[in-house]
């Protein structure tokens, strides 16, 4: 019996709904395997800020630190006071954002199977800047160390997962200082992997290529904001944000989270698609080394999607979040 302490950070909007649904599936998994979860839930986000004055209480930071792994759902307007500082304070430098089109999902591009590896600690999200009444700036910070580290992560992930191609996305033709450095670091790492195909695309053209020819991408590596934006593009290719899981990964800590935000337009209606959160939990299990358990969750989600009888409205179905969760738990 292996026991894991899991920190749950449901946050705002649809967050508690998708986390509850995911816990249902993890509970079902406990019955199938010799894995046991001990959950601890922590406060984070807009509602917590309203209640206590801070969106990221110290108890939450401590809880994330102490846990074996952490599952965060989403917050509203306080993203820059919560998940951004958590990524930076715990050096969760790799943001893994896979976009996979599952059978049964009305995906715009069913041929999509891309792993986006986004640098997660610097770039323009460093939150260094200044605001005057009529002018403002944000500083974009790119370092050799972080660039090299993220590109190496992308190549190692590709190698480990049987992929043959890594694409670096940048804007070095205009952002010559920062992306010039990123690209130089990227090329130096790529040279260490002669067996792997390596190519580069400028971010604007890359956006078009991703939409028109997603099958030409395997692993994508890019800087923080480009990765943020492009991973919503790739989510759009595979059925939307309800289908997009992710992980924030460091050398010995992690926070897994669906890519989506708090979705205020559907919050409280019980119709959010929890698949993104469940697939994030599967990624978390893989990170913990529980590959078989991770696969069980992914396969159960896949089975329900493929059957097509219990899909949430974003996937053109009529099921509720709870009904989807029950179907996945049953499939397990």
Q: What are the residue numbers of the active site? A: 125, 171, 204, 228, 232
Exposed e or buried b per residue across 123-154, where buried means at least 16 C-beta atoms within 10 angstroms of its C-beta = bbbbeeeeeeeeeeeeebbbbeebbbbbbbbb
Span near ligand NAI by CB under 6 A; candidates 70-78, 92-100, 119-127, 165-173: 70-78
Q: Which of residues 78-107 bind ligand NAI (CB under 6 A)?
A: 79, 83
- CB of 18 vs Mg ion, minimal distance in Å: 16
210 or 276: CB nearest ligand NAI: 276
186 or 234: CB nearest ligand NAI: 234
Residue span 222-251 as binding mask against ligand NAI, x where in contact by CB under 6 A, dash where not: -------------------xx---------
Q: Give the pairing of strands 165-170 and 219-222.
A: parallel
Span near ligand NAI by CB under 6 A; candidates 26-34, 108-116, 262-270, 324-332: 262-270
Distance CA 221, CA 212 (A): 19
Distance CA 98, CA 286 (A): 14
| 239 interacts with, out of ligand NAI, Mg ion, none, CB within 5 to 8 A per kind | none
108 in Cβ contact with 236 (< 8 Å): yes
Span near Mg ion by CB under 5 A; candidates 98-106, 166-174, 186-194, 225-233: 225-233
Considering only 12, 179, 218, 228, the residue that binds Mg ion (CB under 5 A) is 228
In sequence order, what are the residues at sequence separation of 6 or more whose Cβ sits closer than 8 angstroms to the Cβ of residue 195? none
Distance CA 82, CA 80 (A): 6
63 or 239: CB nearest ligand NAI: 239
Distance CA 124, CA 224 (A): 7
Under the rule (CB under 5 A), what is the footprint of Mg ion? 228
């Amino acid at each position: 019996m292996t026991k894991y302490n899991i920190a749950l950070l449901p946050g705002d909007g649809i967050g508690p709904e998708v986390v509850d649904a995911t816990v249902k599936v993890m509970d079902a998994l406990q019955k199938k395997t010799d894995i046991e979860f001990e959950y601890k839930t922590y406060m984070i986000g807009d509602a917590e800020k309203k209640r206590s004055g801070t969106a990221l209480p110290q108890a939450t930071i401590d809880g994330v630190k102490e846990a074996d792994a952490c599952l965060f759902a989403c917050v509203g307007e306080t993203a820059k006071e919560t998940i951004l500082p958590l990524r930076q304070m715990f050096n969760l430098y790799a943001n893994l954002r896979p976009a996979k089109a599952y059978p049964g999902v009305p995906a715009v591009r069913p041929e999509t199977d891309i792993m986006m590896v986004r640098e997660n600690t610097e770039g323009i999200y460093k939150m260094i800047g200044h605001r005057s009444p009529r002018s403002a700036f944000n500083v974009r910070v790119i370092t050799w160390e972080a660039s090299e580290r993220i590109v190496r992560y992308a190549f190692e992930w590709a190698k480990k997962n049987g992929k043959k191609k890594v694409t670096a996305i940048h804007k070095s033709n205009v952002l010559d200082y920062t992306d010039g450095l990123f690209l130089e670091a990227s090329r130096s790492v790529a040279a260490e992997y002669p067996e792997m195909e390596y190519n580069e695309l400028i971010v604007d053209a890359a956006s078009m290529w991703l939409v028109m020819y997603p099958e030409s991408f395997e692993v994508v590596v890019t800087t923080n904001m480009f990765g943020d934006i492009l991973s919503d593009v790739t989510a759009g290719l595979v059925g939307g944000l309800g289908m997009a899981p992710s992980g924030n990964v460091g050398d010995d800590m992690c926070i897994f989270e669906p890519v989506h935000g708090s979705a205020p337009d559907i919050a409280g209606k019980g119709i959010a698609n929890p698949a993104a959160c469940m697939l994030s939990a599967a990624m978390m299990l893989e990170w913990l080394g529980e590959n078989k358990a991770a696969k069980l969750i992914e396969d159960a989600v896949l089975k329900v999607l493929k059957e097509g009888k219990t899909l949430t409205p974003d996937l053109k179905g009529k099921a509720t979040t709870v009904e989807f969760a029950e179907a996945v738990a049953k499939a397990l």
